[in-house]
Amino acid sequence: MRVIIVGMGGIGTQLAKDLSQRVNMELVLIDANEEKCEDLSRDFDALVLHGDGTELELLNKADARNSDALVATTESDALNTVVGMMAKKLNVLKIVVKLNDVNLRTACKEIGIDYIISPTISAATEISSILHGYDILDFSLLIRGGTRLIELSPGDTAGKKIKDINLPEGSLIISIIRENSAVVPEGKSEILEDDILLILAESEKILEKLKDIFGELKKARRTKENHQQI
């Protein structure tokens, strides 16, 4: 798997460390800080490029067209959005963008970026829960057990009620993010086009079934076919 990481701050560097431990993983690391790039070259067995990840020339040098995924984790939401937009134009199959401002999520969705993480919002929610006396679930325990918490767009299920969706055994819709608020779903809850669904999947096999149900695999196949035609 070939992955490009743009922005080697705390999240980008930790991601590179995690991915570098996996077999058959080819990493390309991009950062605007030349000194940091020198350090990365020493620390990682990866192609390290110094420059602006929003520049088409640099992304071509990184061979983005033939990469499986691109992750934008710079400290700027605007830059991450532009990097995601450029990656979309280059038909990168999987694009992940880090955003601190949830208001930019809609803009990213409109340009076709479906994988968005908001660490600042997640951290604030956890801290608020702690202050109010709630225990926080360590999701690493779930991950070590094979369970995944994923975020999916409604896709083909928009307009349907949850009770009418044939979810595979071992999966559960635990929340719907709607207009920047979390909604606890019920069987009668209707899924809207702009909703974001948080779903627990017991295994990678179930995750693939969910992506097929919500249209993610179909969209990925279309993108891959377009990628091959270019």
The CATH number given to whatever domain includes residue 166 is 3.30.70.1450
Residue 17 located in a structural domain: yes
> Final residue of a domain: which of 59, 94, 122?
122
pLDDT per residue, tens digit, the chain (230 aa), is 999 999 999 999 999 999 998 889 999 999 999 999 999 999 999 999 999 999 999 999 999 999 999 999 999 999 999 999 999 999 998 999 998 877 777 778 778 886 888 776 666 656 666 676 666 555 555 555 567 777 788 888 889 999 999 999 999 998 888 876 778 889 999 999 888 888 888 887 888 888 888 875 445 444 445 545 54
Contact 46, 40 (CB under 8 A): yes
Residues 9 and 117 in one domain: yes
Is 129 a domain residue? no
User: 149 and 68, same structural domain?
Assistant: no
How many domains in the chain? 2
Task: Give me the domain span that covers residue 84.
Answer: 2-122
In terms of domains, do 105 and 26 share one?
Answer: yes
| End residue of a domain, out of 60, 93, 122 | 122
Task: List the structure tokens of 160.
Answer: 């349907």
Structure tokens at 20: 């570098």
| Residues 85 and 16 placed together within one structural domain of the fold | yes
Residue 23 CB neighbour total at 10 angstroms = 5
- Residue 27 CB-half CA count within 13 A: 25
> Which pair of structure tokens corresponds to residue 163?
């009770």
